[in-house]
Amino acid sequence: MKHELWIENEDEQTFCLSGPHGDDARRLLEPEAKLTWTCEASSNFEAMTKYYEHMSWGEYKSDYPEENKKTYSELGWE
């Protein structure tokens, strides 16, 4: 599934799913927010791993890896 990174200002950003699954998150964005990056991922863990890599934050580690590694298909989101 496609994910989007929105930047509002130098301190605020939102990383969310594209399409209907991200609608609630995007409704919270300020009008001047800009879409700056997208990626495809099959799970939340894969998306967050790519996001951390994009931001140069090091390795992404989840407190709930078993849950976060479930694919969106397994969760019934596709």
Nearest Cα to 32, choosing from 19, 18, 13?
13
pLDDT over 70 percentage in the chain:
100
- Domain ranges, ordered by start, for the chain: 2-68
pTM of the model: 0.91
Are the C-beta atoms of 38 and 2 separated by less than 8 Å? yes
Q: Which amino acid is at 43?
A: S
52: alpha, beta or left, given left = phi > 0 and alpha = psi -120 to 50?
Answer: alpha
Scan for tokens 């990056």, then name that residue: 37
pLDDT digits (tens, 9 = 90+) for 20-51: 999 999 999 999 999 999 999 999 999 999 99
Distance CA 17, CA 40 (A): 10
